[in-house]
Amino acid sequence: MNAHAVYSVLDLTGTFAFAISGAVAARQRRLDLFGIASVAFMVACGGGIVRDICIGAIPPAGLSNWRYLASSLLASAIAVLAYPSVRRFRHPVLFFDAIGLGIFSVSGAQKALTYSHNAELAVLLGIVSAVGGGVMRDVVLSRVPAILEREIYASAALLGAAVQVGASYAGLTAWWTPWFATVLCVTVRLASLYLGWRLPIFRGRRADAFRNNE
């Protein structure tokens, strides 16, 4: 399997995983079928569309390639028809979101490199690809986006994108490189959920005094 095929598989797998997370979240909020499909597509393709616009990949793959829409619709169907089975996961939205986070952070960074952008932009757009759809989902469903909380979320995407970009610059272009970066990101995200890892909060005396007076 050549590199292009690997990243295509990664991208479509991430699309499906993110679509599942969006569809399940919409199902939990009791949206109708159109609402579930809309949220699933938004989560699956929102970050990738923003990335493609930024790197000049016009029209964005999420809008021009039927496979992305098909993946999101398939995920919506699974969320509706097999919801009891999907719900058996302890936290299905978080589980599938973690998988999509890892895959999109890596494939997003690599696509930016493919379009001859530098390492800094590749890492940043890898993060945008990974967290953009989730932010849209949370805003539409009236939830606080995960990247605005203390969770290890965007930082896990940063790790996956940075490892992929670093490997590319080091000449490590083996088929297993993107999978390694993806597994690393997913592992850190799931471990942070399981072990309760949080980012630190730095408070000064003025901030503490203001908080005590509230």
Q: What is the pLDDT of residue 204?
A: 59
Residue 97 corresponds to which amino acid? D
Q: What is the pLDDT of residue 53?
A: 92
Residue 112 tokens, joined = 């930016």
Q: What is the pLDDT of residue 84?
A: 78
b/e sequence 137-146, b meaning 16+ C-beta within 10 Å:
bbebeeeeeb
Domain ranges, residue 186: 3-213
Backbone angles phi, psi at 198, to 5 degrees: -140, 155
Report the alpha-carbon distance of residue 47 to residue 36 in Å, rounded: 18
Note whether 147 and 131 are within 8 A (CB): yes
The domain total for the chain is: 1
Question: Could you tell me which of 158, 131, 166, 129 has the C-alpha nearest to residue 145?
Answer: 131
User: Token pair 């992929």 is at which residue?
Assistant: 164
b/e sequence 149-182, b meaning 16+ C-beta within 10 Å:
eebbbbbbbbbbbbbbbebbeeeeeeeebbbbbb
Q: What is the pLDDT of residue 164?
A: 93
Question: Could you tell me which of 110, 98, 12 has the C-alpha nearest to residue 61?
Answer: 12
Splitting the chain (214 residues) into consecutive groups of 10 residues, what average pLDDT does each group show? 66 84 87 92 91 90 90 89 75 81 90 90 93 88 79 89 92 83 92 83 56 51
Question: Could you tell me which of 117, 107, 111, 122 has the C-alpha nearest to residue 17?
Answer: 107
Q: What is the pLDDT of residue 186?
A: 93
Q: Output 119-123 pairs: Cβ under 8 A, ≥24 positions apart.
A: 119/165, 119/169, 121/55, 122/161, 122/165, 123/158, 123/161, 123/162, 123/165
Residue 130 tokens, joined = 């990974």
Q: What is the pLDDT of residue 210?
A: 43
Q: What is the pLDDT of residue 184?
A: 94
Report the alpha-carbon distance of residue 20 to residue 176 in Å, rounded: 25
Q: Cα dihedral sign for 190, 196, 197, 200?
A: positive
Q: What is the pLDDT of residue 203?
A: 65
User: Token pair 């297993």 is at which residue?
Assistant: 176
Question: Could you tell me which of 121, 116, 119, 108 has the C-alpha nearest to residue 178?
Answer: 108
